[in-house]
Chains A and B, each alone.
Chain A
Amino acid sequence: MLNFFQLIIIYAGIYALMAIGQNCITGNTGMLSLCHAGFFCIGSYSTAIICKVVGLPFWFSLPVAAIVSGFVGFLIGVPTLRLKGDYLCIATLGLGEIIKNIATNVNPVGMMAVPRAELFGYQFSSRNKFTFILLVWFFVLIAYLLFRQLAHSRLGRAMTAVREDEVAAQANGINVTKYKIGAFILGAAVGGTAGCFATAYTLTVQPGSYTFMVSVMVLCMVVLGGMGNLAGVILGAFIIEFISYFPQLVGLSSVIPAQASQIIYGLVLVIMMICRPQGILGRDRYRYGDGRKTRRSAAVKKEA
């Protein structure tokens, strides 16, 4: 039981990192991206390759995973961020699938027995979950503080301006493309570090596990907790992970079928969207893209 709680806390931490990255892209800058599983995959592979094939320590792989994911985010971002709203969502979705497909085809069996992370001679093994919790949540804390500072900085305010109204932001001298790509790179890099910790914990990499559903799950954490609200996002990660492991947690996994948690999770999403679309901790109604009805219909009329 305690063991299980610890497992949930570890996974919640890993997913909280991903959700913080997704929040930077979707919550702060207002871009609906669905390829965080791709960044997660790249981060995991970077760590596995550096620790196992190259033979360097885990701590070296951490920045490398962030940089590689960030770079891929840059490569993806430059062409696709010209697109808006639904189109951006579809394009990133496609790219996420491409990353997974390439990984599955290049390395179908995945990687096993990646060396453990080590700190001053102490090995972080999955058997001793408590130290691993400290490790993961230490980095969640760092990411939380960094991104909170970012949101209140000049950079973060510019990102918010881009989210609220691109044209007005541009008129005020904000380079919209630059901030969009910047936010995308940051989000991707954090997603990569999450992959890094996932590999350090499970010590395996399985290319089939980076599905579209992972991206959706991360997006749901952000939406559930409250877009743009970092504490909310971390809470969202907790809730989603808790729901996923609920049957095992109450020891009824033989009675409750494995699909039940996913069904509950689907229900939570639908009910949440209908009853409280701004998320649990969201304060004001979030706006995504040009969600304001009046402007939209005016634009549609102009086209017609």
Chain B
Amino acid sequence: MTTLIQYLQYLVNGITLGSIYALIALGYTMVYGILKFINFAHGDILMVGAYTGLLTYTALLGESTNPVWMLTAFFIAMLVSMAFCAALGMFIERVAYKPLRNASRLAPLLSAIGVSFILSNGAAWIFGAQSRRFPYPFDNTPIVIAGLSITPHQILTVTVSVIMMVVLTLFVNKSRMGKAMRATSIDQATSELMGIDVNKIISMTFAIGSALAAVGGILSSFDFRVYASMGTMTGLKAFVAAVIGGIGNIQGAMLGGLILGVLESIGAPLLGIPSALRDTIAFAALIIILLVKPDGILGKNEREKV
């Protein structure tokens, strides 16, 4: 019985982690769907989002300990951070990727790596090397239900992620802009002929992906603290999640994120290996998926590629 509860606990933790991965994976998958390139700087946008959120939150909060204002300030900080990262994502696309749109496929990839270096080292320069804690905007005492402890921040993480994903799905499937995005991902040249402003769509994709990364960054900083290179590993794993689900596929990224989070959380105790090897599990899962079904779990069969 205790083991069962223990595993349920791992599952809860895994879902929390997985929903963060899913949010970040969405940015990778949307960009890949349209431009067919891996945006290596995405992980660092997450870091910028976390820092912006943290700074805005502490500035807004000041000395206040009013619980309502704490939560309001948190959500305002999240919105500010989303807006900032969206602008940053669009700017990076404009400066570093747009001139390379017709170059060989390696060029934008390396340019993205360059941007990633600039962002993470710039942050290390400005904010210093030590990591900071993102204070909980509420009392984070775990709620214990039948031996299962769930913290309010886990509830917040999952709720915010689900809301974001529902909004995104609605946007992509129902709105005019979403339709244009889907069209661009299927065939850029033809959508251009149909009067879609492809440049605008690409900018938009980067903006949305970066805003989601900002949310992911803030939510992940409760567990992992805020530091300049925080985006590298989380970003890589979110990318793994995108591939597992089927890169270029929005539902796939969500599913892949959850699967990866749960795998990471349950994998180590299940296989009886030290939890420090959890990264290895993530990458091993990636390689197995690539060998068995390179298009990912939901790849290719779905027509909705964005």
Which applies to chain B's interface (DSSP): helix, strand, loop or mixed?
helix
- A267 at interface, CB cutoff 8 A: yes
* The one of A223, A263, A267 that contacts B110, using a Cβ cutoff of 8 Å: A223
Which residues of A are found within 8 Å of B114, using beta-carbon distances? 265-270, 273
Which residues of A are found within 8 Å of B125, using beta-carbon distances? 257, 259-260, 263
- A1 at interface, CB cutoff 8 A: no
* Closest A residue to B280 using CB positions: A101
28 contacts between A and B (CB under 8 A): A32-B106, A80-B287, A86-B36, A86-B37, A86-B105, A90-B239, A90-B286, A91-B286, A94-B240, A94-B283, A94-B287, A95-B287, A105-B274, A105-B276, A220-B110, A223-B106, A262-B121, A266-B117, A267-B114, A267-B118, A269-B111, A270-B95, A270-B114, A273-B103, A273-B107, A274-B111, A288-B106, A301-B187
How many residues of B are in contact with the other chain, CB < 8 A? 48
How many residues of A are in contact with the other chain, CB < 8 A? 51
Q: CA separation between A266 and B280, bound complex, in Å? A: 28
Could you tell me which residues of chain B, from 96 to 131, have a CB within 8 Å of some CB in chain A? 96, 99-100, 102-111, 113-118, 121-122, 124-125
The answer on a CB contact under 8 Å between A212 and B232 is yes
Given contacts A90-B239, A266-B118, A270-B114, contact A277 B104 (CB under 8 A): yes
- A54 at interface, CB cutoff 8 A: no
The answer on a CB contact under 8 Å between B113 and A220 is yes
Which residues of B are found within 8 Å of A257, using beta-carbon distances? 125
Given contacts A219-B110, A266-B121, A287-B104, contact A95 B116 (CB under 8 A): no
The answer on a CB contact under 8 Å between B105 and A273 is no
Q: CA separation between A297 and B187, bound complex, in Å? A: 8
Q: CA separation between A98 and B284, bound complex, in Å? A: 8
What is the 8 Å Cβ interface bit string for chain A, positions 43-87, against chain B (1 contact, 0 not)? 000000000000000000000000000000000000110110111
- B291 at interface, CB cutoff 8 A: yes
Min C-beta distance of B204 to chain A, whole Å:
21
Which residues of B are found within 8 Å of A93, using beta-carbon distances? 236
Given contact pairs A83-B294, A260-B121, a sample of 16 additional A-B residue pairs in the complex whose CB atoms are under 8 Å apart: A32-B106, A32-B109, A83-B290, A90-B240, A90-B290, A91-B290, A94-B283, A97-B236, A97-B279, A98-B284, A104-B276, A219-B110, A257-B125, A266-B115, A287-B104, A288-B105
Which residues of A are found within 8 Å of B294, using beta-carbon distances? 83, 87
* The one of A95, A259, A268 that contacts B122, using a Cβ cutoff of 8 Å: A259
What is the 8 Å Cβ interface bit string for chain A, positions 276-304, against chain B (1 contact, 0 not)? 01000000011111010100010011001
Which residues of B are found within 8 Å of A174, using beta-carbon distances? none
For A79, A263, A297, A301, the residue with the greatest tally of chain B CB atoms inside 10 Å of its CB is: A263
Instruction: Point out residues on A near B: beta carbons under 8 Å.
Output: 32, 79-80, 82-83, 85-87, 89-91, 93-95, 97-98, 101-102, 104-105, 212, 216, 219-220, 223, 257, 259-260, 262-263, 265-270, 272-274, 277, 285-289, 291, 293, 297, 300-301, 304
Min C-beta distance of B305 to chain A, whole Å:
10
Which applies to chain A's interface (DSSP): helix, strand, loop or mixed?
helix
* Closest B residue to A32 using CB positions: B106
Instruction: Point out residues on B near A: beta carbons under 8 Å.
Output: 36-38, 95-96, 99-100, 102-111, 113-118, 121-122, 124-125, 186-189, 232, 236, 239-240, 243, 274, 276-277, 279-280, 283-284, 286-287, 290-291, 294
Which residues of A are found within 8 Å of B286, using beta-carbon distances? 90-91, 94
Given contacts A85-B105, A91-B286, A263-B118, contact A273 B100 (CB under 8 A): yes
* Closest B residue to A82 using CB positions: B291
* The one of B102, B116, B279 that contacts A293, using a Cβ cutoff of 8 Å: B102
* Closest A residue to B125 using CB positions: A259
The answer on a CB contact under 8 Å between A269 and B117 is yes
Which residues of B are found within 8 Å of A270, using beta-carbon distances? 95-96, 111, 114-115, 118
Q: CA separation between A304 and B108, bound complex, in Å? A: 24
The answer on a CB contact under 8 Å between B117 and A263 is yes
Min C-beta distance of A32 to chain B, whole Å:
6
